[in-house]
Structure 1
Amino acid sequence: MQVTPLTPERLADEVVGLVAARPGRVRLAVDGPPPTRPEALAARVAEDLRTLGREAVVVAAADFLRPASVRLEHGREDPDELLDGWLDAGGLRREVLDPAASTGRVLPRLWDAAADRAFRDGYAQLPPDGVVVVAGALLLGRGLPFDLAVHLHMGAAALARRTPDDERWTLPAHARYAAERDPAGRADLVVLADHPDRPAVRRT
């Protein structure tokens, strides 16, 4: 195994290179627990892709949660439900991933979890070589049809240190995710992100 330290900018370049090597529309997952800042990497990758002439739409997994009546049925701090029941995987597939591979007509946001109601957003039309970047935590191992996946790996000790006290109830969900769904084994690119400002790519 080889570990290559990178700056955040060079990491984005690496991900862009993976996408650029694939023709047609690409469905990219940027997966990692909140302290690894997957949304920030997704935004940087999308910006770089646009600079290269490939339209990109960033979709936050947090905007595809299930309604509170379903999501919080077992309480607000149930780690098993966080892993298995918070994400509206069916909605993400129906509104983003499946149409990205066919019509290109994708919905960037579905559910406003704070207001607990649907967003009023319109659809975005991806061109034939467009890219949709889905960013968030606990995305892999659900059977979602991603063409490429980046996993931002943060070790258990670092994750515990960087998780705010009011979110520490989520730690068992991330431990289960790592043990049961093997996100690193499913990813096309594994990034060691114990220090998000000093990432490193793990190559086999």
Structure 2
Amino acid sequence: MMLELTGVHSGYGQIPILRDITLHVAEGEFVGILGDNGMGKTTLLMTIGGDLSTTQGRIGMEGRDITALPIHRRARLGLGHVKQGRRIFPQLTVRENMQAACLAGGQSLDRAEEMTALFPRLAPIAGRPGGVLSGGEQQILALARCLCAAPRLVMLDEPTEGIQPSIRDEIVEALLMLRDRLHLTMLLVEQDEAFLGALCTRRYYLEKGRLLA
């Protein structure tokens, strides 16, 4: 199993958010987490990624217990996280954003060019600063930058937030292509049920910190 959570509880300080989360994601599977704002979706990804600590339960990745591992060690095991808000470097060009991710992930700079080739929209704007890109272009850059570190499991947090429908469709096509070419596993958090339906084999519904179905 690529990812497995068993009885996970988490929150912010003394404020509990997630309660008894149990889920699994098989290798090569795309799984969605659906829910309204404030239900704990982002908290769930931050807990899996190591930004937040679990207060109870276990997180496993490919059979290894990663519950207590820091963020950088989870990343080295192949866990990638495209966070809400994209968080690209606005002053760096598209190419430099991707090269920085290659260096941080211990990959050759050639991988930045390989990832650019997978996203036709990025090649013509490779020399532009990230901060001048549209929201949709920044989202595509954030995804490509994450892939520069060669993750095996990618978590996407609200990838369609604030982008136009044509870019959303482009992201769907790109993710389906990546699943086939790179054999990626993905956990996607979204409010757009149609977007998840186009990509995911299974969906969990999160409400008030609990998985209901």
More helix, by proportion: 1
Where is the strand percentage greater, Structure 1 or Structure 2?
2
Q: TM-score interval w.r.t. the shorter chain?
A: 0.3 to 0.5
- TM-score when scaled to structure 1? 0.41
Q: Identify the structure with bigger relative contact order (alpha carbons < 8 Å, sequence gap 6+).
A: 1
Report the TM-score when normalising by structure 2.
0.40
